Amino acid sequence: QVQLVESGGGSVQAGGSLRLSCAVYGVNYRFYYMAWFRQAPGKEREGVAVISVSGDTTYADSVKGRFTISQDNDKNTLYLQMNSLKPEDTAMYYCAATFVGMTTTQALRTRSYSYWGQGTQVTVSS
């Protein structure tokens, strides 16, 4: 059974940094895409960053230059390094994965993913 388990969330002041991790269990093959999404209270879940099996990355405009997605295949772990955090980055952050290839635009959409973690909360205070 596939499991995605996020960790690393917390509370920081604006300008601070956090690194989120997503450990993958129960998978013998590499996902085609892995991604980070976030959902703030009262808002729709939105794609933040995506990484493909070949290592290509895509970011939402709101986090470009501040967030970095990466993966360690030996450890079966996905990461999101978040720097220069802003109060508007406050949200529940989710890890997601799919075995299906698609365009990078599609890869930032929630409906493109079959596997989800339970989420980790990030709170940024001003």
Q: What does the pLDDT look like over 78-126, one tens digit per residue? A: 999 999 999 999 999 999 999 999 998 899 999 999 999 999 999 999 9
Contact assessment for residue 44 and residue 116, using Cβ atoms and an 8 Å cutoff: no
Pairing of strands 120-125, 10-13: parallel
Cα–Cα distances in Å, from 67 out to 15, 42, 85? Answer: 12, 23, 9
Higher pLDDT pick, 95 / 74: 95
- Note the pLDDT tens digit of each residue in 18-69: 999 999 999 988 899 999 999 999 999 999 999 999 999 999 999 999 999 9
Q: In this predicted structure, what is the pLDDT of residue 75?
A: 87
Q: In this predicted structure, what is the pLDDT of residue 89?
A: 98
Q: In this predicted structure, what is the pLDDT of residue 104?
A: 87
Q: In this predicted structure, what is the pLDDT of residue 28?
A: 83
Exposed / middle / buried, residue 43 (Cβ in 10 Å: 0-12, 13-18, 19+): exposed
What does the alpha-carbon distance between residue 85 and residue 18 come to, in Å, rounded to a whole number?
8
Q: Which of 91, 102, 78, 84 is nearest to 46 (CA)?
A: 91
Cα–Cα distances in Å, from 68 out to 1, 43, 51, 63, 79? Answer: 28, 23, 10, 9, 8
Q: Which of 63, 108, 104, 80 is nearest to 4 (CA)?
A: 80
What does the alpha-carbon distance between residue 14 and residue 36 come to, in Å, rounded to a whole number?
20
What does the alpha-carbon distance between residue 52 and residue 37 come to, in Å, rounded to a whole number?
15
